[in-house]
Amino acid sequence: MRVERQGWKTSVLLLMAVLIQPGSPVFAQYQDQTKTTLSPPQDIRAFDTPSDGGDSVTLIWAPAAYDSAATKYQILLSEGSAVDPAAMKVVAEFPANQHYVRESKWPWWTRPAAGDQHQFTLRNGRGVELKSGTAYSITVAAVLSDDRGIGMPVRVTPQPNWINWNQINNLVLALLFGGIVLYAIGRARTKEIFLRRIPGLDAVDEAIGRATELGKPILYLTGAHDMSDPSTIAAAVILGRVAKRTAAYETELLVPHRDPMTMAVCQEITKQAYLEAGKPDLYKDDSNFFITSDQFSYTAAVDGIMLRKKPAANFFMGAYFAEALLLTETGASTGAIQIAGTDSDHQLPFFVTTCDYTLIGEELYAASAYLSREPVQVGTLLGQDIGKGLILCILVAGTALATLGALLGAQWPQLFLDVFKDVK
């Protein structure tokens, strides 16, 4: 990897030059050898395109009276400091009513000229090869049938840049949101954070209560993923809560697994829960058991358990795939209360229609954070809430400002709106 320190300095200097004194090149008219009636483009400025890798240059020139679809602009380029425009190569041609600064995607903080000016960015590729660090002469010509008015050539050297200023809003947002998350986690470590009660958790208690009344077991599934997946971790945390209740009510708990590692972790959690409920003697190691890792064989086996043991309540927490429907349908046919919680959005519709209660997406994490009170989990949740709140405000304020802008025909709302655009 070659690092060009020199290039870095020059590019910064050049950038400053562009920012500080726009339009420094000499503006002059250039008369073509042939007699023309078309006046050459005025106020031509050329500079290294800021915020790029050094393979393009940008031209700015003033609009003219003849700007229309019939007239064409040509971009002329040559290496070195050619003075004879006839020797310059035509590298682009387009109708004269196109390529205004306002059409470009530049946000206000990098826009090099007023919106009514013409703008053209000449890039590497398609027959043009711009080398960074090489000096070029470039100019614009206006063409109408045989008439040609050629502007004064300007010198320009493309340079690589170290920062893409067009994306600076992205960076600011990343830093802001990163700061919020870290702050929220820090806060959760020292203070108690309010989390609203997730209604699904009440349903959990209710279901366990009913199972006790009926004297039937409870079935709990932790999903298809292993312990490295956040949804499985959440499922394991909620299992702790369920196990505590089943211990207290002395109800049988069945937890069939698809992953041996997850089973080992869940055994620990269940044991701990029975201990905390003061019923360690009731704990059975084989309430957590491994079936198989094959998707459909596992499903068939669990369906078999549902039909034979007729659990009063089925819990489906964690990540699920196509097997979800096969499980919940069988569960529904046995008349069990079914409670699901998953972030697998493609299976959510099926859970909602076949289960009595469903924790949707992030609700699963929230439920787990609510139960575990673990600072990193709670803090992340709070951080995300703040982030969502900010976005909500931006949406509402932005719509209001955009409407106001349309009503008044004003440009100033863009000062706000551009910040929340992806402008590259």
Select the residue interacting with another protein from 19, 70, 396, 415 (CB under 8 A).
396
Minimum distance from CB of 99 to another protein (Å)? 17
- Whether residue 141 contacts residue 38, with contact meaning beta carbons closer than 8 Å, is answered with no
Site for another protein in 357-386 (CB under 8 A): 360-363, 366, 369-370, 376, 380-385
Select the residue interacting with another protein from 25, 39, 391, 414 (CB under 8 A).
391
Size of the site for another protein (CB under 8 A): 103
Q: For residue 149, what are the β-bridge partners?
A: 142
Q: What share of the chain is helix, strand, coil (3-state, %, to 5)?
A: 45, 20, 35
Tell me: does residue 405 bind another protein (CB under 8 A): yes
- Using CB under 8 A as the criterion, what x/- string covers residues 107-146 for binding another protein? ------------------xx-----x--------------
Minimum distance from CB of 330 to another protein (Å)? 8
Q: Chain-centre distance of CA 409, in angstroms?
A: 31
Tell me: does residue 191 bind another protein (CB under 8 A): no
Minimum distance from CB of 200 to another protein (Å)? 12
Cβ density class 358-381: b for 16+ within 10 Å, e for less: bbeeebbbbbbbbbbeebebbbbb
For residue 408 the two structure tokens come to 């008044």
Minimum distance from CB of 334 to another protein (Å)? 10
Q: What is the DSSP letter of 100?
A: B
Select the residue interacting with another protein from 12, 128, 248, 394 (CB under 8 A).
394
Select the residue interacting with another protein from 227, 249, 309, 414 (CB under 8 A).
227
Minimum distance from CB of 8 to another protein (Å)? 7
Count Cα neighbours of 250 within 13 Å in the Cβ-side half-sphere.
Answer: 3
**Given the complex with another protein, which of 269 and 382 has the nearer CB atom?**
382
Report the candidate in 164, 159, 152 with the shortest Cα–Cα distance to residue 45: 152
Site for another protein in 153-182 (CB under 8 A): 160-164, 167-171, 173-174, 177-178, 181-182
Select the residue interacting with another protein from 191, 196, 281, 286 (CB under 8 A).
196
Minimum distance from CB of 87 to another protein (Å)? 26
Any residues with CB less than 8 A from the CB of 21 and at least 6 apart, and which?
A: none
Site for another protein in 27-56 (CB under 8 A): 51-54
| Cα–Cα distance measured from residue 44 to residue 37, given in angstroms and rounded to the nearest whole number | 19
| Cα–Cα distance measured from residue 133 to residue 225, given in angstroms and rounded to the nearest whole number | 53
Tell me: does residue 231 bind another protein (CB under 8 A): no
- Whether residue 320 contacts residue 349, with contact meaning beta carbons closer than 8 Å, is answered with no
Tell me: does residue 412 bind another protein (CB under 8 A): no
Site for another protein in 236-265 (CB under 8 A): 260-261
Contacts 24+ apart (CB under 8 A), 192-195: 193/378, 193/379, 193/382, 195/366, 195/369, 195/370, 195/378, 195/381
Q: Determine the interface stretch with another protein among 148-156, 206-214, 280-288, 347-355 (rule: CB under 8 A).
A: 347-355
Minimum distance from CB of 389 to another protein (Å)? 7
Burial of 174 (0-12, 13-18, 19+ CB in 10 A): exposed
Q: For residue 92, what are the β-bridge partners?
A: 75
Minimum distance from CB of 220 to another protein (Å)? 20
Minimum distance from CB of 277 to another protein (Å)? 27
Tell me: does residue 63 bind another protein (CB under 8 A): no
Site for another protein in 282-311 (CB under 8 A): 293-294, 296-297, 300-301, 303-304, 307-308
Minimum distance from CB of 20 to another protein (Å)? 21
Select the residue interacting with another protein from 102, 155, 284, 346 (CB under 8 A).
346
Minimum distance from CB of 382 to another protein (Å)? 5
**Given the complex with another protein, which of 63 and 398 has the nearer CB atom?**
398
DSSP readout, 246-274? HHHHT--EEEEES-HHHHHHHHHHHHHHH
Residue keyed to tokens 């090099």: 112
Q: Determine the interface stretch with another protein among 68-76, 91-99, 150-158, 401-409 (rule: CB under 8 A).
A: 401-409
Any residues with CB less than 8 A from the CB of 367 and at least 6 apart, and which?
A: 198, 200, 201, 234, 238, 341, 359
DSSP readout, 171-225? HHHHHHHHHHHHHHHHHHHHSPPP-PPPHHHHHHHHHHHHHHHHT--EEEE--SS
